[in-house]
Amino acid sequence: MKIILLRHGESQWNLENRFTGWKDIDLTDLGRIEAEFSGQEILRNNIKVNVIYSSLLKRSIETASIVAKSLGYQSSKIKKNWRLNERHYGELQGLNKSETAEKFGENQVHIWRRSYDIPPPPLKKNDKRHPIHNDTFKNIDESQLPCGESLKDVVKRLEPFWFKFFNQISEDKNYLIVAHSNSLRAIVKIIEDLSEKMIVKVEIPTGVPLVYDFDNQFKIIKKEFLIEEKLLKLKQESIINQGKVR
């Protein structure tokens, strides 16, 4: 059995280095190319995908749809789940790196971005950026909608999805989960049982399939990114050096 984790292709706010969070932002042209690349790499490695999941955010849905088309998978069958949404950045949502540093100070921003359990300042309910004002999430219990999350909060939010998913999977099928940097890091933490210190160092580049191979006891046999190692390193270094936000 294989589980493939895929971070959506580059979005417009990734390009502008803004904290995107739950804001619904389109892919860039490069992001669509990255999605097509992902689909072709999955095909090239002869991986048959049986089930595809995405978040409720359109950059994830569009990436999943592009990949699905490459794989001959009906996009109408993509399973969407809000728990796969990106980390909610609270008051930081929409700000770029320089704006955030100017408003809160570089040291504080670094703590919010790189710590495991310290969330950014939460949004007030009357803030239009709060999820309660978005019709996409109107069927979700208001008490469950985040107004600002740490990575620890994302792990907690994602756990119900993961354990339901885990109880439904079959060892003779392969699964693709198209989501976001932090929701995928949450899954990586669960799959690999990583410590808090280890998971904050994990970087997941846009548009590169991360494939886990499991035996019938759900133990990891192999883990690999479907991209040349030198290109993967360049992507990861770009994220670190530019301080790319999600």
| Residue-wise pLDDT tens digits, 12-56 | 999 999 999 999 999 999 999 999 999 999 999 999 999 999 999
| Structural contact between residues 177 and 4, judged by C-beta atoms closer than 8 angstroms | yes
Q: List the strands of the sheet with 2-7, edge to edge.
A: 79-80, 51-54, 174-179, 2-7, 210-214, 220-225
pLDDT in tens, 127-140: 999 999 999 999 99
Q: In CATH, what number does 2-85+155-242 get?
A: 3.40.50.1240
Task: Report the C-alpha gap between 19 and 120 in whole angstroms.
Answer: 11
Average pLDDT of span 230-240: 68
User: Tokens standing for 81?
Assistant: 């789940």
Report the percent of the chain where pLDDT is more than 90.
84
Enumerate the active-site residues: 8, 86
pLDDT in tens, 156-175: 999 999 999 999 998 899 99
Confidence of residue 242 (pLDDT cuts 50, 70, 90): low
CA atoms within 13 A on the CB side of 111: 10
The single-letter code of the amino acid at 170 is S
**pLDDT higher than 80, residue 243:** no
130-121-205-223 Cα dihedral, nearest 10 degrees: -100
Query: What is the domain partition of the chain in residue ranges?
Result: 2-85+155-242
End-to-end CA, the chain: 29
pLDDT at position 171 is 87
Q: What is the mean pLDDT of the chain?
A: 93
- Cα angle 83, 163, 10; round to 5: 35
Confidence of residue 228 (pLDDT cuts 50, 70, 90): confident
**pLDDT higher than 90, residue 93:** yes
pLDDT in tens, 150-159: 999 999 999 9
Residue 174 parent element (H or E): strand 174-179
